[in-house]
Every structure is written in structure tokens, then in C-alpha cells.
Amino acid sequence: MMKKSRTEYSTRNTTVAMMARVAAILAGFLTRVVFTHTLQQDYVGINGLFSDILNVLALSELGAGTAITYALYRPVAEGDVEKQKSLMRMFRNFYLAVAAIIFFGGLLVIPFMGILIKERPQVEHLIFIYLLYLINSVLSYLAVYKRTLLDAHQLSYIGVLYHTLALILQNLLQIGILITTKNFILYLLIAIFCTFLNNIAISKKAEQMYPYLQDTSVQELPVQERKAIYQNIRAMLLHKLGSVIVNNTDNLLLSSLVGIISNSIYSNYYLIIGSIRQVLNQMFQGIAASVGNLGVEENPKRVKKIFEASFFLGQWMFGAVTICIFEVIDVFAGYCFGETYVFTRDITFVLCLNFYLTGMRQATIVFRESLGIFRHDRYRPLVEAFLNLAVSIFLGIRMGTAGVFWGTAISTIATSLWLEPYMLYKHCLKSSSVTYFLHYGIYTVVTFSLWFGADILCGKIRGNPWMICIERLVICLILTNFVYLLLYYRTREFRLLKEKGKGVLEKKLLKKGILS
């Protein structure tokens, strides 16, 4: 059988991942709608709060997944089975320790629950509910190392499919429980069961594809290799720490500074915006293993060319979608969850701004992690985290909910926005990053100009909520994509993406006998 190209692997991983995420998001959104209409508002708030607490505890993962996946790229490319076995054994032992740390760390949070919740919600068995969240989080780590091996072989779509099927099953069962019993504890027990089921399924699949995972004869990694991996893990710890503080403390800050009600509104917005972000991010995660393989086999000039095309595609997608979200989400949230679950326009704007800033970083993040750029900017996340907390608390006290989110935007602009690409160009692409920042400036000016124009046009639309959403989406999509195409169709990045897409399509048609 002819070996697939990196483009073919990336295309398959990305296509399956994006379709799977859309299916999972639709099921999850339907579950959330039923959730908000069958349970009181306090349950929505504690759902977001407990999820964020456990995301903070997941810091104990230390970024080992990223570091060991990077270590797998070369032995996978070279077919070195013994090295893969050694790395997987190391990975397994590490994650067993992580699961234990999260469990006992989660227990230590219980005495401080009163501090984390400004106004105690009217929810019975609050501590028991938290323990169910904790158990589900711990279970999610028990088979993750086997999925990582699939990812390193450029087969991430398999893990995505298994996870998505388990998630859809979970959502369907949870909807049934909410409608028939309105029992939140049964709702959580279903989540635990489906997490366990997913672990078993992905474990069996990985062992079937790579029988050597069950070998008991495994060589220990040489000291120097273990040392290099631990260095990367320590660097990723700092990245993980910064990421957790920046991305997973908004619920905690809202709960302590503003109140559980604002927290519950944000949980719904986060569901929508976060779900859309996950779909778009899947495109970049789908190419991660191919980027790692690219770094092993190609020169920096070639890697730079592919990175700039990926960045171009990312800005197009995230720019258009940011505008769509801003024009639609308030109307959509009001219709689905009720007017009490709608933020004011200024809060929606800064949420969309954060979505755009995060999206513009995705290509850089994937290339940086897949190419092993861990240590050079390892202190940057700590600075970003400190700024985020300081500014969010300062502005949150003075501005309320909007201030918490502005803290995230300001800390990102002051650190990650410029330092991540600078380090990537300096240490991996081996060239100046000036062109990158010029492109970034042009892309941003174009997108914000389109955002302003789309807002004027969309503001004239009246009618029922569904028609408003549909008409605004049509206006935003046509306007942004037409202008982007008009401005960028002659660029080198657009031509490269067009050639790649054409090549994949021709290969598929040849395999099906449509072309000869």
C-alpha cells in the first residue's frame, strides 16, 4: 500500500475532527438547552465553576503529553518500535501518577469551597456533586497515553471518533435523565460511565493496531534522553501553568468578584464560543503530527513556508467567525436560554476579541509544540498569568464582568501575541519575524474594518430571533469571504493552499477511478 503524504494525513485528521466536533457540539448544545430549562440557574453556575477548578488541578499533567508526543515523532518516522515502547511505558507511569495527584489535590480543595463561591448556591449535596466531577476528571487520564500514540502516527482522527461517539451517547442519555427525572446526580453518573467506556474503547483499539503496547519486555530510556524529556516537561509546566491561569480562572474570578449568576451567564456563552473554537482548533490539531514529521524530514525554509500558509488560513477562518459570533450570539443566547442569560454588548465584544486573539495564535502554538520549542520562552506564561490575574482582579472590581475579560485580552496582547511567533522564527524557522508581524497587522486592520461594516449592516435587520440570526450570518459570511478573497487570492499563501487542496482532491479522484 502506498504511504500517504503529510497533506493527506492532515486532510483526513482535520476533516474527521471538524465533523466530529460539530456533531458533538450540537448534541452538547441541545443538552445545555435542556439543562437550563430543567434545572435552576445555580446548577449552571456550579457546572462552570467545578469544571474550572478541575482544569486548574490538571496542571499536574505538567505538559507531559506535549513533550512526549514530540519525543515520539522521530521514532515513529524512523520505525523504531523499541523506542516507542520505552516512551509509552514512561508515559503510562507518568499519567497514573497524574491521576493520583489530581484526585488527592481535588480533595484538598473541599475545605476552601466557601472562599471560591461568593454566594453559596441553593444546591443540595454540593460536596458530593463536586466529588463526582473529580472522579470523572481522574478517569479521563487513565488511557490518554495510548491515544497519544495514535496521534503521533498521524491517526488522530481515530481517537477523535471514539471520543465523539462516547460524548454523543453521554449527551443523549443525559437529556433523557433531565427530562424524565431532573436528577443532577444521575446526570453526572452518566458522564462518569461514558468516560470509562471511552477509555476502554480507545485502549482496545490502540492495542489492536499496535500489539507491542502489551509487551512486557520494555527497555528503559537512556539517561540523556530521559533528561531531555524531563527538561521539556519542566518547560511545559510553566506553559501549562500560564495557560491554566489565563484560560481557566474567569469562572473563578466571576464567582468570587461578581457572583454565581454572572458565572452562569458566562457558562452559556463559553459553551457557544468555546465549542466554535474547538471546531476551528481541530483543523490545527489535525496537522500537528504532520508538522512534527515535517520538522524531522524537511529544512527550516520549507517549514516556514507551510507555517505562513497555516497562519494565513487561520486568520481567515477566525476573522470571519469572530464577526459572525459578535453579530449573532446575543440574539441566539436570548432565544435559547432566556433574556436573563444575555450579556451586555460591551461584554460580548471583549469575549469576541479574546476569541480572535486566541485564534490568531493557533498556527504558532501548533508549530511551536510540534517542533519542540518548549524551553526558550518558558517564563513568558508566568508573566502572562501574573498580568492576567492582576489586571482581571483590578478591572473586575471596577468594571465588573467586562473587566475580568479585559484582563485576559490585555495580558495576551502584552505577551503571547508577539513573543510566541518571535521565538518560533528565531529558534526553528531561522529567519526574521518582521514579515509575520507585517502580515498580522494587515490581517487585523482588514478584519476589524469588515467587523465595523458588518455591524452597521446587521444593525438594520429586524424580525424574529431565528431570522435575525440567519440573515446576519449570511451578511457576515458573504461580506468577509468576498473581501478576503478579493484581497488575498494572489498571495503566495493562498496559492499554496489552493495547490495542496487540488493535489489531495486529484489523488482521491484517481483512487476512485474518476480520473485516469
**Between residues 472 and 148, the one the model is more confident about:** 472
- How many angstroms separate the CA atoms of 199 and 392, rounded? 37
Query: Among the ranges 55-64, 120-129, 286-295, 443-452, which has the highest mean pLDDT value?
Result: 443-452
- How many angstroms separate the CA atoms of 56 and 399, rounded? 25
For 43, other C-beta atoms within 10 Å of its C-beta total: 19
The pairs formed by 459-468 with CB atoms below 8 angstroms and a separation of 24 or more are: 465/331, 465/332, 465/334, 465/335, 466/335, 468/331
What pLDDT shows up at residue 292? 67
CB 162 within 8 A of CB 205: yes
- DSSP annotation of 379 reads T
Residue 381: name the closest of 419, 346, 348, 326 by CA: 419
- DSSP annotation of 426 reads I
- How many angstroms separate the CA atoms of 272 and 332, rounded? 10
Residue with cell 468576498: 482
CB 168 within 8 A of CB 27: yes
Q: Helix H segments across 39-183?
A: 41-57, 64-78, 81-109, 113-116, 126-139, 144-152, 156-180
What pLDDT shows up at residue 259? 67
Residue 171 burial (C-beta neighbours within 10 Å; 0-12, 13-18, 19+): buried
Q: Is the pLDDT of residue 138 over 80?
A: yes
- How many angstroms separate the CA atoms of 267 and 41, rounded? 11
How confident is residue 1, by pLDDT bands cut at 50, 70 and 90? Answer: very low
Q: Where are the domains of the chain?
A: 1-285, 298-378+415-516
Q: Is the pLDDT of residue 268 over 70?
A: yes
DSSP string of 236-295, one letter each residue: HHHHHHHHHHHHSSHHHHIIIII-HHHHHHHHHHHHHHHHHHHHHHHHHHHTHHHHHHHH
Q: Is the pLDDT of residue 62 over 60?
A: no
| pTM attached to this predicted model | 0.73
What mean pLDDT do residues 358-368 have? 90
**Residue environment code for 285-306, b if the CB has 16+ CB neighbours within 10 A, otherwise e:** bbbbbbbbbbbeeeebeebbeb
- How many angstroms separate the CA atoms of 60 and 98, rounded? 6
Q: Is the pLDDT of residue 349 over 60?
A: yes
Characterise 430 by phi-psi region: left (phi > 0), alpha (psi -120 to 50), beta (else): left
What pLDDT shows up at residue 254? 77
Helix axis angle, 492-511 to 300-337, nearest 10°:
80
For 488, other C-beta atoms within 10 Å of its C-beta total: 17
What pLDDT shows up at residue 347? 93
Determine the distance from the C-alpha atom of residue 168 to the mean position of all C-alpha atoms in its chain, rounded to a whole number: 18
Residue 490 burial (C-beta neighbours within 10 Å; 0-12, 13-18, 19+): exposed
The pairs formed by 132-136 with CB atoms below 8 angstroms and a separation of 24 or more are: 132/185, 132/188, 132/189, 132/191, 132/192, 133/50, 133/51, 133/54, 133/188, 134/54, 134/102, 134/103, 134/106, 134/107, 135/103, 135/192, 136/188, 136/191, 136/192, 136/195
Query: Among the ranges 20-29, 78-87, 430-439, 501-510, which has the highest mean pLDDT value?
Result: 430-439
- How many angstroms separate the CA atoms of 450 and 456, rounded? 10
Averaged pLDDT of the chain = 82
DSSP string of 197-224, one letter each residue: HHHHHHHHHHHHH-GGGG-S--PPPPHH
Out of 333-342, 368-377, 408-417, 425-434, pick the least confident: 368-377
- How many angstroms separate the CA atoms of 494 and 205, rounded? 38
Per-residue CA distances from 51 to 129, 130, 317 (Å)? 12, 9, 28
Query: Among the ranges 124-133, 328-337, 482-491, 502-511, which has the highest mean pLDDT value?
Result: 482-491
- DSSP annotation of 363 reads H
CB 41 within 8 A of CB 121: no
Q: Which three cell numbers stand for residue 176?
A: 433523557
**Between residues 434 and 16, the one the model is more confident about:** 434
